[in-house]
Amino acid sequence: MKTSYRDIPAYLTKDGSEIRELMHPAIQGNRQQSLAEAILQPGQQTQLHRHLRSEELYHVTRGAGVMTLADETLAIEVGDTVLIPPATPHCVTAIGEEPLHLLCCCSPAYRHDDTELL
């Protein structure tokens, strides 16, 4: 299975980020995880939220930001990867002058009904 970025429409998630589902079971039929790109504009912050079942990995591919992860505040930049365990409150803010691009891997795959806004 192969997907092409140019063929994937973006949508807004519950937390306010622009998302492109690069690979998702509901679309491509993979089973255990999903891979998406999230884009936040400079100064934009996602809403504090958690996923009750999904473990997430965020990998920064462009830009810089500040990640709130439970009681921690982390500076993130290109090349950084952050583990977000299930049920952990988190949000991210894009800082600097360019958009923040994150690859987001969720296992099990991302589901809107697994997202709880805090």
**What are the pLDDT digits (tens) for 48-97?**
999 999 999 999 999 999 999 999 999 999 999 999 999 999 999 999 99
| Separation CA 35–CA 54 (nearest Å) | 12
The answer to whether residue 46 is domain-embedded is yes
The answer to whether residue 2 is domain-embedded is no
The answer to whether residue 65 is domain-embedded is yes
Between 29 and 109, the higher pLDDT residue: 109
Give the per-residue pLDDT at 27.
72
Give the per-residue pLDDT at 26.
72
Query: Could you list the residue range(s) of the whole structural domain that residue 70 is in?
Result: 8-117
The answer to whether residue 16 is domain-embedded is yes
| Separation CA 89–CA 69 (nearest Å) | 6
Give the per-residue pLDDT at 25.
67
Query: Domains in the chain: how many in total?
Result: 1
Burial 64-74 (b: 16+ CB within 10 A, else e): bbebbbeeeee
The answer to whether residue 68 is domain-embedded is yes
**What are the pLDDT digits (tens) for 94-114?**
999 999 999 999 999 888 888
Give the per-residue pLDDT at 99.
97
Q: Kindly give, in sequence order, each residue whose CB lies less than 8 Å from that of residue 113, ignoring residues fewer than 6 positions away.
A: none
The answer to whether residue 3 is domain-embedded is no
The answer to whether residue 1 is domain-embedded is no
Q: For the domain that residue 26 is a member of, what is the CATH number?
A: 2.60.120.10
